[in-house]
Amino acid sequence: MDMTGISDGDFERYRRLIYDESGIHFTALNRAILESRLKERLREREGETALSYFEKLRSDKGELRDFLDSITTNLTRFFRNQAHFDALEKFVIPALIDVKKNEGNYHIKIWSAGCATGEEPYTIAMLLAGLLSPPWNFSIIASDLSLQCLMKAKEGFYADAHMSGVPETTLRKYFDRAEGGWKIHRDIMAKVRFDYHNLKNDPGFNNIDIVFCRNVLIYFDEAAQRAVIERFWNAMAKKSFLFIGHSESLFGMRTNFTFVKTPFATLYKKWV
Ligand SMILES: C[S@@+](CC[C@H](N)C(=O)[O-])C[C@H]1O[C@@H](n2cnc3c(N)ncnc32)[C@H](O)[C@@H]1O
């Protein structure tokens, strides 16, 4: 125990609260991350102990939301794992066009779940804007439980240091130069709706054609992963696709999704 006093009992209490409220699973292996973020919050709140702050979190929903925000890991980048975007362009979109044109439905609905600061949904929007033409159209819902990330995402401004991986042609076509960075074009921004959503809860979405939930499930334990995957299933259209992170897998999990191996990347489909 040190000056801020994070005892084993405190760790257990916080670990359980975080899990119950978000599905994010801290273990002895990543205890140091939780401790350092909690200590930082206690330092900012003079006089608060681990125990008194815990009581505050239980009675103050706003504080709890901010606290959960502070313990999330929001690392992301444009065109993260290019193989997924190749599979999207060359496999998923052609398959959906085939299915949906028979239904006379020309709108593709995408959900980027755990979108962090927006690079993932904007990458998808830039890709699809170059790929689809009328009568085809698309819209993206991008959600996260970090309000700070969502605010940043809504600005659509990215500092130079965050632009690595964006091809020169994409930069010219979909960004404007701004001081110290780049601003996404309005028509691309208009394709993405950012929403606060905790994956612990039912999203209330339906008929989603493509879900991206990459590098989010790794923070959950198996029970929480299973619950989220089932929520995706319920929110998705009868013929639809799911991308998870390349280090994540549904292997060994009882689910109705079918594993799909494309020449570009592996993914999952709902095909009923
Ligand atoms: C590492 S980022 C991944 C961003 C992006 N999907 C990517 O692959 O680059 C993980 C994101 O998941 C979000 N997250 C974690 N638990 C969540 C939950 N229960 N509900 C919604 N978002 C959550 C975090 O706030 C964080 O922004």
232 burial via Cβ count (<10 Å: 0-12, 13-18, 19+): buried
Question: Does the beta carbon of 219 sit less than 6 angstroms from any atom of ligand 1?
Answer: yes
**3-state DSSP: the chain helix, strand, coil percent, rounded to 5?**
45, 20, 30
Q: Return the ligand 1 atom nearest residue 213 CA.
A: 6
Q: Is 49 helix (H, G, I), strand (E, B) or coil?
A: coil
Structure tokens at 34: 């939780």
What is the dihedral angle through the alpha carbons of 195, 196, 199, 203, rounded to the nearest 10 degrees? -50
Q: How far, in Å, from the CA of 24 to the mean position of ligand 1?
A: 10
DSSP 66-129: HHHHHH------TT-SHHHHHHIIIIIHHHHHHHHHHHT--EEEEEEES-TTTHHHHHHHHHHH
The residue among 71, 105, 120 that closes a domain is: 71
Same domain (yes/no): 113, 211: yes
User: CA 211 to CA 242: how far, in whole Å?
Assistant: 5
**17 and 114 co-located in one domain:** no
Instruction: Give the residue among 149, 121, 152, 113 at the shortest CA–CA distance from 232.
Output: 113
Q: Are residues 27 and 154 in the same domain?
A: no
The atom of ligand 1 lying closest to the CA of 75 is 1
How many domains is the chain built from? 2
Tell me, in angstroms, the distance from the centre of ligand 1 to residue 218's CA. Answer: 10
Q: Give 130-182 pLDDT, tens digit per residue.
A: 999 999 999 999 999 999 999 999 999 999 999 988 999 999 999 999 999 99
231 C-beta neighbours (distance < 10 Å), count? 18
Return the half-sphere exposure (C-beta side, CA atoms, 13 A cut-off) of residue 122: 29
Residue 185 clears pLDDT 50, i.e. is over it = yes
Distance 114 CA to ligand 1 centre (A): 3
The 10 Å Cβ neighbour count of residue 254 is 8
Tell how far the Cα of 215 is from the centroid of ligand 1, in angstroms: 7
Per-residue pLDDT reduced to its tens digit, 111-129: 999 999 999 999 999 999 9
Both 35 and 99 in one domain: the answer is no
Q: pLDDT tens digits, residue range 35-76? A: 999 999 999 999 999 999 999 999 999 999 999 999 999 999
One-letter-per-residue 3-state SS of 76-93: CCCCCCHHHHHHHHHHHH
Using one digit for the tens of pLDDT, what is the confidence trace for 190-217? Answer: 999 999 999 999 999 999 999 999 999 9
Q: Average of pLDDT values for 183-196?
A: 98
Q: Compute the distance from residue 199 Cα to the ligand 1 centre, in Å.
A: 9
Q: Indicate if 57 and 114 belong to the same structural domain.
A: no
Residue 163 sits in the same domain as residue 253: yes
**Cβ–ligand 1 contact at 22 (below 6 Å):** yes
Confidence label for 4 from pLDDT (cuts 50, 70 and 90): low
In a domain? residue 77: no
- Domain boundary residue among 71, 91, 108? 71
Classify residue 1: in a domain, yes or no. no
Range of the domain at 194: 82-271
Residue 6: what pLDDT? 87
Tell which residue, 161, 198, 212, has the closest CA to residue 182: 161
3 domain-assigned: no
pLDDT at 12 (0 to 100):
97
Domain final position from 50, 71, 92: 71
- Ligand 1 and 117: CB distance under 6 A: no
38 and 117 part of one domain? no
Q: How confident is the model at residue 3 (pLDDT cuts 50, 70, 90)?
A: very low
24 and 129 assigned to the same domain: no
Residue 5, pLDDT score: 64
